Amino acid sequence: MTAQDEFKAIAQDRITRDGIGDLMKWLDDSDFYTAPASTRYHGAHEGGLVEHSLNVYKRLRQLAATYDYGAGSLEAEWDSLEESIAIVSLFHDLCKVGYYTTEMRWRKDQFNRWEQYPTYKKQENYPFGGHGSKSVYLVQHFMKLKPEEASAINCHMGAWDKSDYGNPSEVYDVNLLAWLLHVADEAAAYIDKC
């Protein structure tokens, strides 16, 4: 099963919220399934963004089970914890849709000869603000997020995001899903490397 097929299967199986069909169609019409996750760090290859999103989903499910998330009061407030986990993990980096382009650069090969090679570079076509806030905006263009989901996506970068949403630890103190998404994203980036 390809990463694209796996992503679509999880979204179809776990997410029933109004608007998911339109969001998935938008992803089909975008570069989401071929885009890198970064220019030179995790997932800096074709398809890296969808692979990274899947790894975040898998890590978030593991963390939720490890910390017995869902046994507390938040589960009673939410229609489906599984749906929330799928939404925040699969769509946390939508800000990267249409964000990268390729360019050719030069380097020396193993014989000390110059060669050209393709690489990715950032090309922001739609500046919006912070990394997380742009992803929240894009998801909510298609479907309504619960406050805990929007907060989790918005703060998933932790201190790495220089936007002005304040201290992420204040959010993590009141929204366990936000902290778990942040940890899952870091694990996917630094352990899974994709």
pTM of the model: 0.87
Amino acid at 108: K
Tokens coding 69: 């998330």
* CA dihedral sign, ordered 154, 156, 161, 167: positive
pLDDT-derived band at 161 (thresholds 50, 70, 90) equals low
Q: What is the pLDDT of residues 49-82, one digit of tens each?
A: 999 999 999 999 999 888 766 555 444 444 478 9
Task: Write phi, then psi, for 166 (nearest 5 degrees).
Answer: 100, -160
Amino acid at 76: A
